[in-house]
């Protein structure tokens, strides 16, 4: 009898342990879920905010405020594209210019915002956007600690180029926070699927 009780207790303990492991796994997966079609970006990156591009003085006067994802995506049609970093070659010469040149086409399709995001501080992004003369067409946001891209599993290691952990090159069409189209490049130097022309055809 004692053996049966012990066996049942062991089984109950094992079941409880498995439930705990499953719960922990679910929490981990929820926190760092890979973005895909249908993903709710706000839910996939809980408690994450981005930093709107601005000058240092504007940062100080705003008390270094950040923008919750809900404010960026809720009740809006948004085209967002991520890139490895400000002032890098392909990003400056091809990726951003493509979106800037097509801004009127995006607006004609009812897009509320075209957003560029990178693992950079908002001050560097602001200076870069001004240099590209793109800040009046595109909204630039920093992901200074990479938390947004990590949450969506959209980071890549570019230490070989002395850049460290950066965003993959990608684009998405997002409606009320839900991903309707997603394009991720195989290589950070490519703009084969994440450019403006591709996403325009997916809206």
Active site residue 91: yes
Q: Are strands 178-184 and 139-142 parallel, antiparallel or unpaired?
A: unpaired
Give the residue ranges of DSSP H helices in 32-146: 41-44, 56-61, 69-73, 89-90, 96-101, 103-108, 122-131
- Closest residue by Cα to residue 168 from 67, 81, 42, 48: 81
Q: Do the beta carbons of residue 203 and residue 109 sit within 8 Å?
A: yes
Write down the catalytic residue from 79, 86, 91, 132.
91
- Closest residue by Cα to residue 83 from 185, 178, 201, 202: 185
Q: Do the beta carbons of residue 121 and residue 51 sit within 8 Å?
A: yes
**Residues with a known catalytic role:** 91
């Amino acid at each position: 009898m004692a053996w049966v009780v012990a066996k049942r207790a062991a089984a109950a303990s094992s079941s409880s342990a498995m439930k705990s492991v499953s719960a922990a796994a679910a929490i981990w997966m929820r926190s760092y879920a890979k973005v895909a079609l249908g993903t709710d970006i706000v839910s996939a990156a809980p408690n994450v905010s981005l930093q709107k591009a601005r000058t240092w003085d504007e940062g100080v006067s705003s008390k270094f405020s950040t923008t919750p994802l809900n404010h960026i995506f809720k009740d809006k049609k948004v085209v967002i594209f991520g890139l490895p970093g400000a002032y890098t070659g392909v990003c400056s010469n091809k990726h951003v210019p493509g979106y800037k040149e097509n801004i009127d086409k995006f607006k004609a399709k009812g897009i509320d915002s075209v957003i560029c995001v990178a693992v950079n501080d908002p001050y560097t992004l602001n200076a870069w956007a001004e240099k590209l003369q793109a800040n009046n067409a595109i909204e630039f946001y920093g992901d200074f600690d990479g938390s947004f891209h990590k949450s969506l599993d959209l980071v890549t290691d570019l230490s070989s180029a002395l850049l460290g952990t950066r965003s993959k090159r990608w684009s998405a069409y997002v409606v009320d926070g839900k991903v309707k189209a997603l394009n991720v490049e195989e290589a950070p130097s490519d703009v084969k699927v994440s450019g403006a022309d591709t996403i325009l055809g997916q809206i």
